[in-house]
Structure 1
Amino acid sequence: MNRVCLALPTNRACPATITALHAEAAYAVRNFGADVQLLILDSTDARTRAAHADTVAALPPEPGVTVHHLDEERQRAWLRRTIARSGLPDPDRLLGLMLPPGVSYGACTNRAFLLAASLGCHSVHRRDSDSTYQVHHGEPVFPVHHELPWLGRPAADATATVTRTDLDPALAHRPVALAGASFIGELSVDIAEIRRLDEAVYHDVVGLWAPGDWPEDRRRALVEESFTGAGTDPFTGDRSTLTVVDPMRVDMCNIAFDRAVYERVPLPPATDTIGSDYFLLHLVHDAGLPGILHNRHIENFHTPERRTDTGFPAYQRRFVKFLLSMLHFHHVYDRMAAEGAAGLLGPDHRVRPDRVARLVRESTTLDRTENIWRLDRVDTAYRKLGGRYARFADQLVSEREELLDQAARDMEDFAFLTEAWPSLTEAART
């Protein structure tokens, strides 16, 4: 039986999402005979966790579905044991990167990866707590429908069942490494207010995540596509493509990875940085590993805490840190694309963590002039918007040097964790 991990990391109240995820797990059992380990990694406050526990307790028993609801205390205890078992140096640093005090989209998913390894799962299927399933003809549209059958199997096996094949025949013997779709609804990044206030400022700010040397026409095209997912059109029927998946076509709220990927390389553990969990999408693409791109898009929405007096500056800071991280990530993505499968894959088609760590570490020495330019552009743009955006610009003035330093330190942490990852995964398995 194929054992899989359906994972929900959360730091917000989401009882409806837990119930819906349980229904997706039951669907996977009924339709594919899977053994589903439903993993809820709960970083909420005590009152919210208690409500989540009540939701879990009320779930109807489903043969083939095992629910694990872990608060941070239990996660931390398990991580300590796993790190100790690995025998790796600097265990306190590793624990801090796996379960940091701040928000980390990469770290929470890394915990799911390690726990999936310990549970003997063959794949991880990630969902988010600020999204929901579409409904078609009265039935929820579960992405697992396209995720389960082919992960880890030769791509050639999937050609008879997908709607379309757009894969070089020379790659057909390689295993399917991911299956995913995107989202419909609100922008994936909560910055639509900037666009409503000033379209030109929105273009200037969003365009900052492009490489600094891109021409204006290419930058403008990126802005038009950024954070929009699959638009707003609802699901009307299944379509799927066997291909090397473009990272811009999928979202981390709607993704599944084969263990040959996530047991080899983790996600960047950077804190307070949106987009830090997308790295493996680029790695799978640049390594030439096949994937299945489908259209069972999840519906995205934004919870209101990001727009409160305390939530607004915290979220905007995560967005700025994302912009600064791109100096380093673009360097790594370019180098990975140049290396391709020959450099990134071993003879068994599994990604090579040593190569990835080397490229990430290279990026820590880049000149920061481009990031100084980014901060200057953000300052100018936010002051044009006025109000709380101008006040946030004032806050950034005092944090400039720290933000610039942190962008490089985050990559150093990522390289360190990547080097340790195979040993951590092996310790988790045992």
Structure 2
Amino acid sequence: MRRVCLTLPTDRACAGTIAAVHQEAAYATGRFDVEVHLLILDSSDDETVAEHAAALDALPPVPNVVLHHLDEAAQRVFLRKVIEKARPAQPDLVLSLMLPDRSSYGACTNRAFLIARALGCESVLRRDSDIRYQSLDGVPVYPVHHELASLGLPASEASAHVTGTELDPGRAHRPVTMVGSSFIGELSVDIGEIERLDPEVYHDMVSLWAPTDWSAEQKRELVAESFRGAGTEAFSGDRATLTVVDPMRVDMSNIGFHQVQELVPLPPGTETIGSDYFLIHLVHDAALPGVLHNRHIVNYYTPERRTDAGFAAYHVRLVKFFLSMLYFNAVYDRMAAAGESMLDERDRVRPAVIAGFLRDSAELDRTENVRRLQVLDRCYRSLGGRYAAFADLLAARGPRLLDEARRDIEDFALLTEVWGPLMLAADAATPLEPRRQLERSGT
């Protein structure tokens, strides 16, 4: 029986989502020969952590579903033991990259990758706390159906579990490395109001994540499809394609990885939306097989980001996303050019190659990012109201954000260089045991 990790990182109250993901885990074990480790990584406040613990305690036991709930204190204990065994040159820095004191989409998923290795899980499936599942005739539509049908199988075998194949036959011997889908509902980035207020400003902002040498038409096409997922079409029946998956067609709230997550981590940058999408690009550029299916989740917005404090925090993350693209666009270009040469003789990604691309990108001149800040300042001010107030905040924080964007890519390079030893340490000596619920701190 294989083990997989179904993980839900959260920093907000989401007892309902926890129950729904637990039902997905039960669906998985009822249909596949698999042991599902449902891993809740909880960065919420103490009261919310207690609410989540009570919600988990109330769940009915399900054969071969193992529950794990770790607050940040418990996660830190695990990480310190792993880092102590891995013995990186800068242990305190590595700990801060794995468990930063600010929000990091990449870091929380990296912790799931390490813990999954400690639990003996060969694949990691990720969901988010602000999702719902679609239903067909009143029955929930679970992405795990396609993930477990194909992940880790040679592509030649996985072809029996899909409705179509677009994969080059010369790649059919490689294992399916990623299975994913997208979302319907709200935009994945909460900027719909900007588009309603001023479509031209929306275009100018969203196009900032394109490479600067793209044509106006390429940027228009990017803006037209950005953050929209699969649109609004409701699920009516399964479609799944064996292919090299287009990164624009999947979302990190609806994704499963096999093996690649043990070779290269996600960017640990803080306060940055989209910082957890790197592996999707890597799998594509290395021409590793994947399955793209249509069991899209439903995305929605939590009330917190509508508050004044939540609004400002969210737009800082959006700005940092645009600034990060100076570096990531350069890395993506290098990965696309390298293609399958990024793989070793066993068709595994070579981490040293990726770390080299990251190190090189950190040396880029940041004039392009200064221009991005200027465009953003103009855009926010033109929208008026709290957008204009945010422009004042951005003007004050701009120089620091430029420094943070460069440091984030340097930190990513460092973490990539030590990721192998961290994985080996997690595998070889941890306090985690399969088939047992992890103790929460304070219990």
TM-score band w.r.t. shorter chain: over 0.9
User: Does residue 12 in structure 1 map to residue 12 in structure 2?
Assistant: yes
| TM-score of the superposed pair, with normalisation by structure 1 | 0.99
Q: Could you tell me which amino acid in structure 2 is paired with residue 229 of structure 1? A: G
Q: What displacement does 1:212 show?
A: 1.1
Q: Could you tell me which amino acid in structure 1 is paired with residue 291 of structure 2? A: I
Q: Deviations over 1:28-63 (max 9, x none)?
A: 101012100000000000111111011000000001
Matches within 5 A, 1:405-424: 405-424=403-422
Select the residue among 332, 343, 358 that pairs with 2:356: 358
Aligned partner of residue 365 in structure 1, secondary structure: coil
Distance between the aligned counterparts of 1:305 and 1:200, measured in 2?
A: 27
Distance between the aligned counterparts of 2:7 and 2:95, measured in 1?
A: 20
Contact 2:149 2:161 in 1 (8 A): no
Q: Could you tell me which amino acid in structure 2 is paired with residue 338 of structure 1? A: A
Matches within 5 A, 1:124-273: 124-258=124-258, 260-273=259-272
Distance between the aligned counterparts of 2:22 and 2:57, measured in 1?
A: 12
Q: Deviations over 1:96-124 (max 9, x none)?
A: 00000000000000000000000000100
Q: Report sequence identity in percent.
A: 63
Aligned to 1:373: 371
Distance between the aligned counterparts of 1:37 and 1:337, measured in 2?
A: 34
Aligned partner of residue 124 in structure 2, secondary structure: strand
Distance between the aligned counterparts of 2:394 and 2:380, measured in 1?
A: 11
Q: Which runs of 4+ in 1 moved over 2 A?
A: none
Matches within 5 A, 1:7-406: 7-258=7-258, 260-342=259-341, 344-406=342-404
Q: What displacement does 1:159 show?
A: 1.4
Q: What displacement does 1:304 show?
A: 1.3
Distance between the aligned counterparts of 2:153 and 2:243, measured in 1?
A: 14
Aligned partner of residue 160 in structure 1, secondary structure: helix
Q: What displacement does 1:309 show?
A: 1.1
Distance between the aligned counterparts of 1:191 and 1:325, measured in 2?
A: 18
Aligned partner of residue 229 in structure 1, secondary structure: coil
Distance between the aligned counterparts of 2:325 and 2:404, measured in 1?
A: 13
Q: Could you tell me which amino acid in structure 2 is paired with residue 212 of structure 1? A: T
Aligned partner of residue 160 in structure 2, secondary structure: coil
Q: What displacement does 1:160 show?
A: 2.2
Distance between the aligned counterparts of 2:215 and 2:372, measured in 1?
A: 16
Aligned to 2:436: none
Aligned partner of residue 159 in structure 1, secondary structure: helix
Q: Could you tell me which amino acid in structure 2 is paired with residue 225 of structure 1? A: E
Distance between the aligned counterparts of 1:413 and 1:424, measured in 2?
A: 15
How many corresponding residue pairs? Answer: 428
Contact 2:150 2:161 in 1 (8 A): no
Q: What displacement does 1:241 show?
A: 0.1
Q: What displacement does 1:369 show?
A: 1.1
Q: What displacement does 1:307 show?
A: 1.6
392-401 or 63-72, which moves further after superposition? 392-401
Q: What displacement does 1:194 show?
A: 0.4
Aligned partner of residue 175 in structure 1, secondary structure: coil
Contact 2:40 2:69 in 1 (8 A): yes
5+ residue gaps, structure 2, are 429-443
Q: Could you tell me which amino acid in structure 2 is paired with residue 293 of structure 1? A: L
Aligned partner of residue 153 in structure 1, secondary structure: coil
Distance between the aligned counterparts of 1:160 and 1:400, measured in 2?
A: 52
Contact 2:358 2:409 in 1 (8 A): yes
Aligned partner of residue 370 in structure 2, secondary structure: helix
Distance between the aligned counterparts of 2:87 and 2:268, measured in 1?
A: 20
Distance between the aligned counterparts of 1:399 and 1:42, measured in 2?
A: 29
222-231 or 151-160, which moves further after superposition? 151-160
Q: Could you tell me which amino acid in structure 1 is paired with residue 323 of structure 2? A: L
Distance between the aligned counterparts of 1:11 and 1:193, measured in 2?
A: 24
Q: Deviations over 1:148-185 (max 9, x none)?
A: 02212210001122100001111111111000000000
Aligned partner of residue 394 in structure 1, secondary structure: helix
Q: Could you tell me which amino acid in structure 2 is paired with residue 19 of structure 1? A: A
Q: Could you tell me which amino acid in structure 2 is paired with residue 329 of structure 1? A: F
Aligned partner of residue 35 in structure 1, secondary structure: strand
Q: Could you tell me which amino acid in structure 2 is paired with residue 356 of structure 1? A: I
286-295 or 392-401, which moves further after superposition? 392-401
Aligned partner of residue 36 in structure 1, secondary structure: strand
Distance between the aligned counterparts of 2:333 and 2:406, measured in 1?
A: 17
Aligned partner of residue 241 in structure 2, secondary structure: strand
Q: Could you tell me which amino acid in structure 2 is paired with residue 145 of structure 1? A: H
Distance between the aligned counterparts of 1:132 and 1:43, measured in 2?
A: 20
Distance between the aligned counterparts of 1:88 and 1:403, measured in 2?
A: 27
Distance between the aligned counterparts of 2:158 and 2:352, measured in 1?
A: 30
5+ residue gaps, structure 1, are none
Distance between the aligned counterparts of 2:366 and 2:326, measured in 1?
A: 8
Q: What displacement does 1:248 show?
A: 0.3
RMSD after superposition: 0.6
Distance between the aligned counterparts of 2:162 and 2:46, measured in 1?
A: 45
Distance between the aligned counterparts of 1:162 and 1:305, measured in 2?
A: 39
